[in-house]
A and B are shown apart, each in its own frame.
Chain A
Amino acid sequence: MPVSLDFIGGVIGFAFTIMILSYLIGDNPLYRIASYTFVGVSAGYIATIAYWHVLLPKLILPFISGGSSERLLLGVPLLFSTLVLMKISPRLTRLASPAMAYLVGVGTALAIGGALSGTLVPQFFSLINAFDADIATARNANFLEELVEGGIILAGAISTLVYFHYGAKKHSEDGAVKRMGLIELLAWVGSIFIAITLGVIFAGVFSAAVTALIERVHVVLLFIFSLIGPV
Chain B
Amino acid sequence: MNDIKCPICGEMNSANSETCSNCLSQLRQGTDALRDLGKRPIQPGQVPTKKTTSELEPILPQWLQDARSQTSSTPSWQEGDNNPQINNQMPLQQPPKPSVGAKPVASSGLPDLLAGLQSQANEEEDELPSWLTGLAGGVEPTKAKPQEPPSFGSRRVELRGGTGQLPPLKNQSESAAAPRITATQAPSEKRGGTGELPPWLAETMANDVRGQTTDDLPGWQAPSVQGGVPEAAQSVDTFGVGLAGLGESDAPVVDNSFAQSGGLDWMNGLQSAGESAEFKDDVQDQSPFDSGTPDWLSGSGVPAVATSVSNDTPDWLASLDAGPAQSDVVEQASSSDTPSWLSAFESPSVQPAVVNDAPSLSNDDAPAWLSGLGSEQSSSSAFSEPPVAPVSSASATPDWMNDLGSPSNVPVVSASNDNLNSLFSETPDWLSKVEGGNPVTDPFFGKADTSNAFAPGTMDDVAPADLPSWVQAMRPVDTSVISGSQASTRSGASEAKGPLAGLQGVLPAMSFLPTSKPRAYSIKLQATDEHQGHSALMEKIIEAETTPLPIVSIERVISQRGLRRSLFVIYALMIIAVLLVQTRIFSLPVAVPIEINSAISVAENIAENSPVLVVFDYDPGLSSEMEAIAVPLVDHMILLKHPRLTFVSTSPYGDALAERFISVSLRDRNYQRGIQFVNFGYLPGGLAGVRVFASAMPQGGFSDVTAINQFSAIVVITDNADDGRVWIEQTNGLRGSAPILIASSAQASPMLYPYYRSGQVAGMINGLHGAAIVEQRNAGLPGTARRYWDAYAISLFLAVGFILLGGLWNLFAGLNAKKLEAQ
| B469 located at the interface, meaning its Cβ lies under 8 Å from any Cβ of chain A in the complex | no
Q: Roughly how many angstroms separate A139 CA and B565 CA in the complex, as a whole number?
A: 51
Q: Which residue of B lies closest to A210 (CB)?
A: B795
Q: Which residues of B contact A132 (CB under 8 A)?
A: none
Let me know if B749 and A204 touch, CB within 8 A: yes
Query: Given A211-B624, A214-B788, A177 and B754 touching (CB < 8 A)?
Result: no
0/1 interface trace, chain B 615-649, chain A, CB 8 Å (1 if under): 00000011011001000000000000000000000
Per the 8 Å Cβ criterion, residues 101-120 of A in contact with B are 106-107, 110-111, 114-115, 117-119
| A217 located at the interface, meaning its Cβ lies under 8 Å from any Cβ of chain B in the complex | yes
Let me know if A170 and B532 touch, CB within 8 A: yes
Q: Which residues of A contact B621 (CB under 8 A)?
A: 212
Q: Roughly how many angstroms separate A19 CA and B418 CA in the complex, as a whole number?
A: 90
Q: Which residues of B contact A166 (CB under 8 A)?
A: 534, 537-538, 541
Q: Roughly how many angstroms separate A217 CA and B624 CA in the complex, as a whole number?
A: 12
Q: Which residues of A contact B768 (CB under 8 A)?
A: 207, 211
Let me know if B754 and A126 touch, CB within 8 A: yes
Contact partner of A212 (CB less than 8 A), chosen from B576, B580, B625, B750, is B625
Minimum CB–CB distance for A165 against chain B, Å:
10
Let me know if B532 and A153 touch, CB within 8 A: no
Per the 8 Å Cβ criterion, residues 473-504 of B in contact with A are none
Minimum CB–CB distance for A96 against chain B, Å:
17
Contact partner of B788 (CB less than 8 A), chosen from A49, A206, A211, is A211
| B812 located at the interface, meaning its Cβ lies under 8 Å from any Cβ of chain A in the complex | no
Q: Which residue of A lies closest to B728 (CB)?
A: A118
| B536 located at the interface, meaning its Cβ lies under 8 Å from any Cβ of chain A in the complex | yes
| B430 located at the interface, meaning its Cβ lies under 8 Å from any Cβ of chain A in the complex | no
Let me know if B534 and A168 touch, CB within 8 A: yes
| A182 located at the interface, meaning its Cβ lies under 8 Å from any Cβ of chain B in the complex | no
Minimum CB–CB distance for A10 against chain B, Å:
14
**Most A-side CB within 10 Å, residue of B530, B538, B568, B746:** B746
Q: Roughly how many angstroms separate A47 CA and B580 CA in the complex, as a whole number?
A: 40
| B804 located at the interface, meaning its Cβ lies under 8 Å from any Cβ of chain A in the complex | no
- Stretch of A63-71, A85-93, A195-203 lying at the B interface: A195-203
Let me know if B622 and A208 touch, CB within 8 A: yes
- Stretch of B292-300, B360-368, B684-692 lying at the A interface: B684-692
**Most A-side CB within 10 Å, residue of B532, B533, B536, B561:** B533
Contact partner of B652 (CB less than 8 A), chosen from A49, A197, A214, is A49
Q: Which residues of A contact B568 (CB under 8 A)?
A: 21, 24-25
| B277 located at the interface, meaning its Cβ lies under 8 Å from any Cβ of chain A in the complex | no
| B655 located at the interface, meaning its Cβ lies under 8 Å from any Cβ of chain A in the complex | yes
Q: Which residues of B contact A122 (CB under 8 A)?
A: 732, 755, 758-760
Q: Which residues of A contact B769 (CB under 8 A)?
A: 207
Query: Given A53-B681, A205-B747, A210-B792, A119 and B652 touching (CB < 8 A)?
Result: no
**Most B-side CB within 10 Å, residue of A49, A206, A214:** A214
Q: Which residues of B contact A231 (CB under 8 A)?
A: 580
Q: Roughly how many angstroms separate A203 CA and B750 CA in the complex, as a whole number?
A: 10
Let me know if A214 and B795 touch, CB within 8 A: yes
Q: Which residues of A contact B540 (CB under 8 A)?
A: 177
Q: Which residue of A lies closest to B754 (CB)?
A: A123
Q: Which residues of B contact A170 (CB under 8 A)?
A: 529-530, 532-533, 536
Q: Which residues of B contact A49 (CB under 8 A)?
A: 652, 655, 681-682
Let me know if A213 and B571 touch, CB within 8 A: yes
Q: Roughly how many angstroms separate A205 CA and B728 CA in the complex, as a whole number?
A: 22
Let me know if A177 and B537 touch, CB within 8 A: yes
Tell me the count of chain B residues lying within 8 A, CB to CB, of chain A: 67
Minimum CB–CB distance for A113 against chain B, Å:
8
Per the 8 Å Cβ criterion, residues 1-40 of A in contact with B are 21, 24-26
Q: Roughly how many angstroms separate A107 CA and B796 CA in the complex, as a whole number?
A: 40
| B564 located at the interface, meaning its Cβ lies under 8 Å from any Cβ of chain A in the complex | yes
| A94 located at the interface, meaning its Cβ lies under 8 Å from any Cβ of chain B in the complex | no
Range of interface residues on A (Cβ < 8 Å): 35 or more
Let me know if B575 and A118 touch, CB within 8 A: no
Q: Roughly how many angstroms separate A123 CA and B564 CA in the complex, as a whole number?
A: 41
Q: Which residues of A contact B767 (CB under 8 A)?
A: 204, 207-208, 211
Let me know if B580 and A221 touch, CB within 8 A: yes
0/1 interface trace, chain A 214-231, chain B, CB 8 Å (1 if under): 111110010000000001
Q: Roughly how many angstroms separate A214 CA and B732 CA in the complex, as a whole number?
A: 37
Let me know if B572 and A217 touch, CB within 8 A: yes
Let me know if A25 and B792 touch, CB within 8 A: no
Contact partner of A118 (CB less than 8 A), chosen from B541, B565, B760, is B760
Q: Which residue of B lies closest to A111 (CB)?
A: B687
Per the 8 Å Cβ criterion, residues 42-92 of A in contact with B are 45-46, 49-50, 53-54
Q: Which residues of A contact B529 (CB under 8 A)?
A: 169-170
| B608 located at the interface, meaning its Cβ lies under 8 Å from any Cβ of chain A in the complex | no
Contact partner of B576 (CB less than 8 A), chosen from A126, A179, A217, is A217
Q: Which residue of A lies closest to B700 (CB)?
A: A57
Query: Given A53-B681, A169-B529, A204-B746, A114 and B799 touching (CB < 8 A)?
Result: no
Query: Given A53-B682, A169-B533, A215 and B788 touching (CB < 8 A)?
Result: yes
Q: Which residues of A contact B760 (CB under 8 A)?
A: 118, 122
Let me know if B624 and A215 touch, CB within 8 A: yes
**Most B-side CB within 10 Å, residue of A168, A200, A211:** A211
Q: Roughly how many angstroms separate A205 CA and B534 CA in the complex, as a whole number?
A: 34
Q: Which residues of B contact A54 (CB under 8 A)?
A: 682, 684
| B696 located at the interface, meaning its Cβ lies under 8 Å from any Cβ of chain A in the complex | no
Let me know if A214 and B757 touch, CB within 8 A: no
| A167 located at the interface, meaning its Cβ lies under 8 Å from any Cβ of chain B in the complex | yes
Q: Roughly how many angstroms separate A51 CA and B248 CA in the complex, as a whole number?
A: 89
Let me know if B787 and A218 touch, CB within 8 A: yes
Q: Which residues of A contact B75 (CB under 8 A)?
A: none
Query: Given A122-B758, A212-B625, A204 and B728 touching (CB < 8 A)?
Result: no
Minimum CB–CB distance for B594 against chain A, Å:
10
Let me know if B732 and A168 touch, CB within 8 A: no
Q: Which residues of B contact A26 (CB under 8 A)?
A: 561, 565
**Most B-side CB within 10 Å, residue of A21, A111, A123, A208:** A208
| B748 located at the interface, meaning its Cβ lies under 8 Å from any Cβ of chain A in the complex | yes
Per the 8 Å Cβ criterion, residues 523-548 of B in contact with A are 529-530, 532-534, 536-538, 540-541
Query: Given A123-B754, A169-B533, A201-B750, A207 and B684 touching (CB < 8 A)?
Result: no
Contact partner of B729 (CB less than 8 A), chosen from A114, A178, A204, is A114
Q: Which residue of B lies closest to A163 (CB)?
A: B541
Minimum CB–CB distance for A28 against chain B, Å:
13
0/1 interface trace, chain B 677-707, chain A, CB 8 Å (1 if under): 0000110101110010000000000000000
Q: Which residues of B contact A119 (CB under 8 A)?
A: 725, 728-729
Minimum CB–CB distance for A229 against chain B, Å:
13
Query: Given A169-B533, A207-B767, A214 and B575 touching (CB < 8 A)?
Result: yes
| B385 located at the interface, meaning its Cβ lies under 8 Å from any Cβ of chain A in the complex | no
Q: Roughly how many angstroms separate A98 CA and B210 CA in the complex, as a whole number?
A: 83
Per the 8 Å Cβ criterion, residues 742-798 of B in contact with A are 745-751, 754-755, 757-760, 766-769, 787-788, 791-792, 795-796
| B337 located at the interface, meaning its Cβ lies under 8 Å from any Cβ of chain A in the complex | no
| B817 located at the interface, meaning its Cβ lies under 8 Å from any Cβ of chain A in the complex | no
Minimum CB–CB distance for B206 against chain A, Å:
70
| B322 located at the interface, meaning its Cβ lies under 8 Å from any Cβ of chain A in the complex | no
Q: Which residues of A contact B732 (CB under 8 A)?
A: 114, 117-118, 122
| B719 located at the interface, meaning its Cβ lies under 8 Å from any Cβ of chain A in the complex | yes
Q: Which residue of B lies closest to A212 (CB)?
A: B624
Chain A residues proximal to chain B, CB less than 8 Å: 21, 24-26, 45-46, 49-50, 53-54, 106-107, 110-111, 114-115, 117-119, 122-123, 125-126, 153, 166-170, 177-179, 197, 200-201, 203-208, 210-218, 221, 231
User: Can you identify 12 A-B contacts, CB atoms within 8 angstroms?
Assistant: A49-B681, A53-B681, A107-B687, A110-B687, A118-B760, A122-B732, A125-B758, A170-B536, A205-B746, A208-B622, A214-B624, A217-B576
In addition to A200-B750, A214-B579, A218-B787, 17 A-B residue pairs with Cβ atoms within 8 Å of each other are A24-B564, A49-B655, A110-B730, A122-B732, A166-B541, A169-B533, A170-B529, A170-B536, A204-B745, A204-B746, A208-B767, A210-B795, A211-B768, A211-B792, A214-B624, A218-B579, A218-B788
Please provide the 3 A-B residue pairs with the shortest distance between their CB atoms, ordered closest to farther: A118-B729, A114-B729, A215-B624
